[in-house]
């Protein structure tokens, strides 16, 4: 885990180049007639959101109270808790941009794909849940029914995140594959939930080789030794999901707005990308001629 100074330097280096583009984007797309910066810079707002995800706190109010008490000297002026929440929600696009920039150099010729559920409440509270009803839907996974969203993710052999897509809870995994691998050329390893002859054919035209196990009622396919080995390593992406949920608090039931919910997800992803050092790695077995 890197220290807070190093974390801030990484974030600030990015926003020194990107901040002017970011403000121009907000003006053009959200018709912001003027820019009114807060007393905290975009780098500081993003840093606090990500630092919280790296901390041992699972409640942002407790984290922010401790920050004001112990580390207020690191900032010129810290706002109140309600204002800090507003700033993080307002600038969730900045967190998304940082997450996207961190993925740029992670492309590889070997990729693993999977999805994980992000429930926003317990099933008993579905009828009463209102804050995220615009994006959350009922879905079913191997663990049963849930109400929330899905995170679809591509991982490389170094445990790096290559691409991510959020979807509703009811969206089938195979519907998001082409969006995830657009513009890439690679071998793609997936579980049986991604079996589709039509999808495999479309990906082949894009120079993506989709490799999965076959089902029991299907004709067996003889896989290359290297491909069979790489398929067996697919559990490493489950380790990545466990780290995101267990260490970086990816799943939350405390979000009170869509913007806050998205800010929390992108902060968790950025925290893993920047701070996690022992990522789940996969040794590549070269295919012999």
Tens-place pLDDT, residues 152-194? 999 999 999 999 999 999 999 999 999 999 989 999 999 988 9
Mean pLDDT for the stretch of residues 239-247: 95
| Residue 289's pLDDT band (cuts 50, 70, 90) | very low
Give dist(CA 105, CA 162) in Å, integer.
Answer: 8
Helix (H, G, I), strand (E, B), or coil: what is residue 3? coil
Gyration radius of the chain over CA positions: 21
Question: Which whole number is the average pLDDT over 274-281?
Answer: 93
- For 281: left if phi > 0, alpha if psi spans -120 to 50, otherwise beta; the answer is beta
Q: How many CB atoms sit inside 10 A of residue 275's CB?
A: 19
- Contact criterion met (CB below 8 Å) for 117 and 147: no
Report which DSSP code applies to 54: H
Which of 161, 164, 121 minimizes the C-alpha distance to 145?
A: 121
Residue 209 has pLDDT above 80, yes or no: yes
Question: What per-residue confidence (pLDDT) applies to 20?
Answer: 86
Mean pLDDT of 69-83: 90
Mean pLDDT, rounded, of the chain? 89
Instruction: Indicate whether 206 pLDDT > 50.
Output: yes
For residue range 96-129, list pLDDT tens digits in order: 999 999 999 888 999 999 999 999 998 888 888 8
DSSP 70-116: HSGGGSS----HHHHHHHHHHTHHHHHHHHHHHHTT---SEEEEEEE
**Per-residue confidence (pLDDT) for residue 3, from 0 to 100:** 83
Q: Model-level pTM?
A: 0.92
Q: What count of other Cβ atoms lies within 10 Å of the Cβ of residue 128?
A: 7
Domain map of the chain by residue range?
4-102, 106-259
Token pair recorded at residue 54: 């790296």
Instruction: Identify any residues that bridge with 209 across adjacent strands, giving them in sequence order.
Output: 187
Give the pLDDT score at 217. 67
pLDDT on residue 192 = 87
Query: Taking the domain 106-259, which CATH number applies?
Result: 3.30.420
Rounded CA-CA distance 74/69 in Å is 11
pLDDT at 287: 63
């Amino acid at each position: 885990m890197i220290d807070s100074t190093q974390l801030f330097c990484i974030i600030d280096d990015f926003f020194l180049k990107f901040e002017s583009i970011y403000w121009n984007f907000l003006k053009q797309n959200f018709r912001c007639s003027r820019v009114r910066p807060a007393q905290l810079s975009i780098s500081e707002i993003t840093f606090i959101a990500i630092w919280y995800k790296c901390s041992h706190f699972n409640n942002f109010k407790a984290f922010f109270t401790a920050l004001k008490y112990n580390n207020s000297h690191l900032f010129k002026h810290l706002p109140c808790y309600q204002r800090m929440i507003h700033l993080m929600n307002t600038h969730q696009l900045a967190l998304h941009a940082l997450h996207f920039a961190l993925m740029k150099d992670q492309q590889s010729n070997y990729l693993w794909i999977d999805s994980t559920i992000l429930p926003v409440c317990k099933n008993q509270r579905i009828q009463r849940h209102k804050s995220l009803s615009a994006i959350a839907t009922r879905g079913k996974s191997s663990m049963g029914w849930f109400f929330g969203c899905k995170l679809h993710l591509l991982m490389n052999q170094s445990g790096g995140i290559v691409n991510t897509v959020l979807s509703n809870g009811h969206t089938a995994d195979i519907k998001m594959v082409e969006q995830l691998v657009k513009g890439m050329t690679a071998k793609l390893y997936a579980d049986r939930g991604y079996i589709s002859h039509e999808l495999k054919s479309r990906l082949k035209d894009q120079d993506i080789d989709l490799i999965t196990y076959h089902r029991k009622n299907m004709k067996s396919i003889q896989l290359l030794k290297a491909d069979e080995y790489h398929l067996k390593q697919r559990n490493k992406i489950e380790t990545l999901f466990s780290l995101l949920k267990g260490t970086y608090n990816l799943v939350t039931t405390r979000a009170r707005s869509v913007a806050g919910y998205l800010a929390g997800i992108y902060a968790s992803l950025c925290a893993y990308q920047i701070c996690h050092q022992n990522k789940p790695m996969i040794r590549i077995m070269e295919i012999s001629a």
